[in-house]
Structure 1
Amino acid sequence: MEGKDIPFRMLDADPFSNWLGIAILESRVGYCRVGMTIRREMLNSMGKAHGGITFSLADTAFGFTSNTHGKYAVSIETSINHIEALEEGDFITAECSLEKVKNKVGFNIIAVKKGDDLVALFKGVVYRTQKDWE
């Protein structure tokens, strides 16, 4: 299986990301950009998108990208900084790039944006196993 195809396989087997409405906008080895639209059921008590929504979108981009090198990879530590509030109907994207893979642990920063505006920064540490995607 080609690395750029792995995120599509992962999304097909991911009920939560499908419930969120995540779409893969671009995928290649070492890179993935995903997007989704904020829906009413994703809002918190203040009428803004729940912080878990941007976290989940970024985590998905992180996971998909980390696996494009052909080995099963899992996150071992993540965090997020929320910069701007989001509202129902906003379309947001998360972009992750991983150029080189040299060891079992990798660190990434994922930008979550609404258009050109940065709305969150997600940081993640991934562990790469020796198991191949087939």
Structure 2
Amino acid sequence: MDTNIRSEFQQVVDHMMENDFFSQWLGIELLSVSEGYSLIRMTVRKEMVNGFGIAHGGIAFSLGDSAFAFACNNRNNLSVALDVTTSFIKAVNIGDTLTAEAKEIHNGRSTGVYLVTITNQRGQQVALFKGTCFRTGKKLRN
């Protein structure tokens, strides 16, 4: 897509992804970005499972964390996590496709609160991530 017609929010997230090697390793695909919102997807690979043969909890947490980061930073105001929690609801397996949808709950001058719902390819909720960020006032890109 031409840079001139991509939204400012999309341009900020594209800039973030260029240097986010962990999100790249996860195989994250950006599906949608708008002000205070992001929708991303990834597929669980065999190197992401724990000793029980199910996805390591860090995988769902990391997907939620990336969606949170894209949603709270896309106004081009560098924001960092103050507090995050994840509830694991359902086991995730190799080959599952996970989608994380981050929605802004609160947009304050210095803080923001986001709720990220993580679902599998069957539309079943597998995890819930909640994050609070601090807004530094610094720009991510000029």
If the length of structure 2 is used for normalisation, what is the TM-score?
0.89
Structure 1: distance between partners of 2:103 and 2:82: 18
- Aligned with 1:101 (options 103, 107, 111): 107
Taking the TM superposition and a 5 Å limit, the aligned residue runs for 1:36-115 are 36-98=42-104, 101-115=107-121
Q: Give the match for residue 118 of structure 1.
A: 125
Moved over 6 A (4+): none
1:108–1:124: 8 Å Cα contact kept in structure 2? yes
- Aligned with 2:10 (options 4, 28, 43): 4
- Gap runs ≥5 in structure 2: 1-6
Structure 2: distance between partners of 1:83 and 1:108: 18
Aligned identity (percent) is: 37
More strand by share: 1
Structure 1: distance between partners of 2:96 and 2:61: 15
Structure 2: distance between partners of 1:100 and 1:82: 23
Matched positions, count: 134
1:5–1:27: 8 Å Cα contact kept in structure 2? no
Q: Give the match for residue 20 of structure 2.
A: 14
2:72–2:133: 8 Å Cα contact kept in structure 1? yes
- Gap runs ≥5 in structure 1: none
1:58–1:112: 8 Å Cα contact kept in structure 2? yes
Partner-residue secondary structure (3-state), 1:131: coil
